[in-house]
A and B are shown apart, each in its own frame.
Chain A
Amino acid sequence: MKEELEKLFGEALGNLKVAGEESQVTQVRTEFLGRKGKITALLRGLANVSPEQRPIVGRLANEIKLSLEEKIRESLASIQARKRKERLLHEKLDITLPGRRVPTGRKHPISEVCNEVIEIFLGLGFQISEGPEIESDYYNFEALNIPKDHPARDMHDTFYISDEILLRTHTSPVQIRLMEKQEPPIQIIAPGKVFRCDSDVSHTPMFHQVEGLMVGDNITFGDLKGILTIFLHEMFGAKTKVRFRPSFFPFTEPSAEVDIACVMCQGNGCRVCSSSGWMEILGAGMVDPEVFRIVGYNPNEVVGFAFGLGIERIAMLKYGISDIRLFFENDMRFLGQF
């Protein structure tokens, strides 16, 4: 009987080997292990085996049954795996077709750059302050030490609403409004739109500025240099060369114009920087004591610095834009590039 069992087992394995379909495998199971299967039938004759042989043959029969079951499962699994593989191979996509992308928009480059500037200063402990875009002559000029009939007014081509009301020409009035209602220490930036009646390739009648103001009792011109150098390094890269040179603003003294090495020619001199190798990037200075006096601070006790920078100017340098008017035409062919 042992021999017969082994023979049937061999026969079953042989059948499994050639089975290519699941049905053929289940056929093997029925044929050998089913209720009427060959092995089952054989084992019915177990009773006829001698008592000493019976446990041995029984164990062998069990092993063969288990082993065959195992082989059948393996065979089924491998057939299923092969079939899945075949099926998946037929389901191949053209993965080079464009995706179902829901188009997204973009921030205006001015917002983008403005936010970048703001982020840098927030990181340096500045807070944001804002003021009206239509201002009084007092806040835009007089409180900033620019009296009527002062030649410094030539530096601002002003749009007027009336004799006393105008479109702010800089964001500096925000300084005054803030200092009027808040005691030092102060550390703010004021971003916003400003207006000058001027229009050509490098001027638009409206543009954006960020004003900065830091007031306390121990702030120096050296600190002004420090803060602005950090800013410019963050904005244009840590290797950017920065220089401070004397200039004039009625509301700061000493005043400085700040240049960075020309981004086009790396300081070697080109048409963009009129061969100087430098590009004007912002104006700054120590707050004039007269301004402190006007807002009611004691000019002998407080010191501070202020600075102002043009967002369009920075954006033009960053992105290599030569015509400032593009920012306000809102042509998608332009906006889509950012």
Chain B
Amino acid sequence: MRASLNWLKEYVDIDLTPVELADVLTMAGLEVESVIKIEEDLSHVVVGKVLSIKSHPNADKLSLCQVSIGDGTFPVVCGARNMKVGDKVPLALEGALLPNSMKIRKAGIRGEPSEGMMCSEEELGIGEDASGIMILEDDLVLGMDIVSALNLEDHVFDLNITPNRPDCLSIAGLAREVAAVTGKALKIPSIEVREEDGRVHDLTSVDVRDPELCPRYSARLISDVAIGPAPFWIRRRLESVGVRPICNVVDVTNYVLMAFGQPLHAFDFDLLSEKRIVVKRAKDGDTFATLDGLERTLQGDALMICDGEKPVAIGGIMGGLNSEVSVTTSNVLIESAYFDPSNIRKTSKKLGLQTEASYRFERGVDPEGVINALNITTRMIADLCDGKVAQGIIDQYPSPFLPKEIPLSIRRTNKILGTSLEKERVGRYLKAIELDNKNLDRDKLIVRVPPLRVDLNREIDLIEEVARLNGYDNIPTTTPLARVTSGRRSSAWVAEDKVKDVLISLGYYEVVNYSFISPKLITSLGVDVNHPFHKFIRIKNPLSEEQSIMRTTLIPGLLRTMKTNVYNKNSDLKLFEIGTVFFPNEEDKLPIEKRMLSALVTGLRYVEAWNFSGDEIDYYDIKGSLENLFRALDIRGCNFSCAGDIPYLHPGKSSTIMIGDTQIGFVGEVHSEVLENHDLSKTAHIFEIDFDLLVKHAFSEKKINLLSKYPPIYRDMALIVKEDVQSIDIYDAIIGCNNSLVKEILVFDVYEGEPIASGEKSLAYRIKYQSFKRTLTDQEVNKAHKKLVSKVLEDMGARIR
């Protein structure tokens, strides 16, 4: 909300600077987001008075005027005709530079001297009216500079009023707070309405059919109003708080809305059928044209203001075109009402229509302030539009709101705040914000809260007011008594830290991608509609299609990150992410959330340099990272088996990752088609692992083996096997020999090509033999090794190279 300092000063004395006032408001819970200084550079423009007007001898359309500024009179040649002798006008004298860049100089116009210029609002840059010279209020002092004469200098506060404080959504409401915290008196003027002939009850009637949704409806009637622009000061004020001026009657209702927080509406009385008001619910599907020119479809719970036959406004939200005040209007009915907040909010949400009125009604206006606002509005319209006010007020208010009486325990106040405030002091604080209170017993006060304060309903609400008025800064800063707790992190957190540390030490960068992605990215993986990745959850109101589904895999995000970086000429990447993926669940249940660990590597293993060769990363790099990871997490029994049918991976260069019988993820080269779908030309390798399963198998207990005191003996064996034999098969065959002396098996060479025949390959193993009991002799190791080799040859159909 915006508030003008000049306007505020009308209701409360302020001797603080704008910055100090902003600080006071902020520390009282009314956060000032910014203070904007409004200034007009209009030096050499002063208040003048037209002494005479003669026609210009050489030009029909111009006139010669004498304009006085009190201690001097200037001849002015002028093209406008709206001023008359005796009018006060803004006079720009020599040296003035107007906002439209016009420089004022003494000059001759068609042979007549002209020493200044009378200006329109538009020429002064302070309003839109360009139709003629601006005519000033008669009581302004001649010669006064225009900026102070029109009070053009101001400060506007941009406030962030929290939803609990609708009472502060007005200048007077803010003034009340300023008065409370600065100790100054509030100066809300009392208003008297001059009523003339005709009784309102004879001329019209109001029938509230739904008092639950409309607990109070009041109205007055003003006849013979002259519609035109509102006076400059009203328009200026409205503009300062961001409201566009329309015409005098509407501007007054908006002025009172901004000043006192009560939304009002003016109907063209002659457009109301049967000259009466009926307040009732809409019929489902009714349509209605609102003031903004849109045709709106209503639902049955919208509250409508109707005349004898049709709706004329959506109650508390917006008026209708069919009863709008216009230049032809001469009689107006002014509505001031209180509507049920939650119903206003519902209707406003359904219509997607939020107005200054609905914003206040849905938060709650002061039901007891309805009549005062109506009277101020009426009086201002009568004064400014020459209207005649009918006698009496219509006020449908069957069950008045009563002040709430809330007990407040001082002991509890101090217990919650950690203070030691005395009862008298608490009572004083509350009185400062117009909350009457008296002693209930030794400990308690009974506090009377006017309906205006919709946020104060319980003891705790009053405790907050006490804290606020005492100042949060004045509440002692303490620390709670310590309790001894076990502060260990859960194993998931420890595992996450460890995983990150391992991957980072292996050169991986952590990335964080959005949890929502485009459904196209799932399709880009080449998976069919039955694949689990396709069972995604849609967001009902996404920001864009690009972010419209919850991710079912982290891979698309990593591919996107790869693309971003390749585009920026970073093509050697090692990335990982730990994040949640989402899958649908049974109806009425929350979706299934799984935490995944995924990684992507692409480009060179190491950037080529004097000390590194520039080799491309391959499958064994990413597999090695995983092996390191499992080692760090003490995960045993992990193996990689052929994947073959994972659509987004290379069929020959991919595997599933198993721990025992449980599949925990996959690893492999990204399928070239997927890369093409992402406009990527370089190959990449990825893995994705179910992080929760990983954690489940992590940190298995360790038993440390004794160290052998006896030396090991190594023996090599180079085999020639069919090319589709996997190294794991030979490994298994060696283990299958059940020789307890075999302590380590190392593949030290893999070779295909000359002189090995095509269709075959050579694998070479180094086997470590060692005993815990004695030093092995060459002889016995030779014997054991020979036996082992012949068994492996037999099992694998291999031969010695």
Point out the residues of chain A lying under 8 angstroms from B543, CB to CB.
197, 199, 205
Q: Please give the distance in Å from A181's CB to the nearest CB on chain B.
A: 16
If A134-B582, A135-B590, A331-B564 touch, does A185 touch B539 (CB 8 Å cutoff)?
no
Residue contact B507 to A104, C-beta cutoff 8 Å: yes
Give A105 to B500 CA distance when docked, in angstroms.
Answer: 9
Point out the residues of chain B lying under 8 angstroms from A133, CB to CB.
515, 580, 582, 593
Residue contact A223 to B568, C-beta cutoff 8 Å: no
Interface positions of B from 386 to 431, Cβ below 8 Å from A: 415-419
Interface residue stretch chosen among B224-232, B603-611, B733-741, B769-777: B603-611
If A133-B580, A248-B162 touch, does A125 touch B606 (CB 8 Å cutoff)?
no
Interface positions of B from 109 to 165, Cβ below 8 Å from A: 162-165
Tally of A interface residues using CB under 8 Å = 87
Residue contact A162 to B34, C-beta cutoff 8 Å: no
Residue contact A134 to B537, C-beta cutoff 8 Å: yes
Point out the residues of chain B lying under 8 angstroms from A270, CB to CB.
none
Residue contact B538 to A247, C-beta cutoff 8 Å: no
Residue from A132, A152, A161, A199 within 8 A of B539 (CB atoms)? A161
B294 an interface residue at 8 Å Cβ cutoff?
A: no
Residue from B163, B485, B506, B512 within 8 A of A187 (CB atoms)? B485
Residue contact A221 to B514, C-beta cutoff 8 Å: no
Interface residue stretch chosen among B270-278, B457-465, B784-792: B457-465
Point out the residues of chain B lying under 8 angstroms from A335, CB to CB.
509-511
B326 an interface residue at 8 Å Cβ cutoff?
A: no
Give A256 to B467 CA distance when docked, in angstroms.
Answer: 10
Q: Please give the distance in Å from B356's CB to the nearest CB on chain A.
A: 14
Tally of B interface residues using CB under 8 Å = 98
Residue contact B362 to A289, C-beta cutoff 8 Å: no
B94 an interface residue at 8 Å Cβ cutoff?
A: no
Q: Which residue of B is nearest A285, CB measured?
A: B464
A201 an interface residue at 8 Å Cβ cutoff?
A: no
Residue contact A244 to B417, C-beta cutoff 8 Å: no
Q: Please give the distance in Å from A44's CB to the nearest CB on chain B.
A: 52
Point out the residues of chain A lying under 8 angstroms from B479, CB to CB.
223, 226-227, 230
Q: Quick one: CB contact mask for B465-496 with A, threshold 8 Å, 1 for yes?
A: 00110001101111111110111011001000
Residue contact A246 to B28, C-beta cutoff 8 Å: yes
If A106-B504, A122-B487 touch, does A134 touch B416 (CB 8 Å cutoff)?
no
Residue contact B540 to A162, C-beta cutoff 8 Å: yes
> What number of residue pairs across chains A and B have CB atoms under 8 A from each other?
248
Interface residue stretch chosen among B75-83, B84-92, B570-578: B570-578
Q: Please give the distance in Å from B354's CB to the nearest CB on chain A.
A: 9
Residue contact B574 to A105, C-beta cutoff 8 Å: yes
Q: Quick one: CB contact mask for B502-529 with A, threshold 8 Å, 1 for yes?
A: 0111111111111110000000000000
Point out the residues of chain A lying under 8 angstroms from B363, CB to CB.
151
B213 an interface residue at 8 Å Cβ cutoff?
A: no
Residue from B23, B478, B486, B512 within 8 A of A330 (CB atoms)? B512
- Chain A binding surface SS class: mixed
Most A CB within 10 A of own CB, among B475, B575, B610: B475
Residue contact A331 to B539, C-beta cutoff 8 Å: no
Interface residue stretch chosen among A19-27, A46-54, A94-102: A94-102
B681 an interface residue at 8 Å Cβ cutoff?
A: no
Residue contact A105 to B509, C-beta cutoff 8 Å: yes
Residue contact A195 to B515, C-beta cutoff 8 Å: yes
Residue contact A103 to B591, C-beta cutoff 8 Å: no
Give A125 to B287 CA distance when docked, in angstroms.
Answer: 60
Residue contact B480 to A216, C-beta cutoff 8 Å: yes
Point out the residues of chain A lying under 8 angstroms from B480, CB to CB.
214, 216, 218-220, 223, 226-227
Q: Please give the distance in Å from B548's CB to the nearest CB on chain A.
A: 10
A165 an interface residue at 8 Å Cβ cutoff?
A: yes
Most A CB within 10 A of own CB, among B19, B480, B570: B480
Q: Please give the distance in Å from A49's CB to the nearest CB on chain B.
A: 59
If A108-B510, A328-B512 touch, does A289 touch B26 (CB 8 Å cutoff)?
no
Q: A123-B487, A152-B163, A214-B480 are in contact. List 9 more A-B contacts (CB 8 A).
A: A97-B610, A122-B487, A133-B593, A159-B540, A220-B418, A227-B480, A248-B29, A248-B162, A275-B35
What are 7 A-B pairs with beta-carbon distances under 8 A? A103-B507, A128-B493, A132-B591, A220-B415, A221-B417, A245-B31, A275-B35
Q: Which 8 A-B pairs have the closest CB atoms?
A: A220-B418, A222-B418, A246-B29, A248-B162, A254-B464, A244-B472, A222-B478, A330-B511
